[in-house]
Amino acid sequence: MSDYVSEELHTLVQKQFSIDHRMIAISGHSMGGHGALTLGLRFPEKFCSVSAFSPIVNPVQAPWGQKAFMGYLGDDQSKWLEYDATELIKAGRRHPKTLLVEQGLADPFLKTQLLTENFMEACQQARQPSTIHMRDGYDHSYYFVSTFIGEHIDFHASEMASRLQ
Q: How far apart are alpha carbons 112 and 127 in whole angstroms?
A: 25
Helix (H, G, I), strand (E, B) or coil at 109: coil
- The order of strands in the sheet holding 50-53 is 26-29, 50-53, 99-104, 130-135
Q: Which residues are catalytic?
A: 30, 107, 140
- CB contact at 8 A, 120 and 132: yes
Q: Return the ∠ at Cα 10 (arms to 72 and 7), rounded to 5°.
A: 45
Q: Which 8-state DSSP code applies to residue 75?
A: S
Beta bridge partners of 103: 134
Q: How many CB atoms lie within 10 A of CB 147?
A: 15
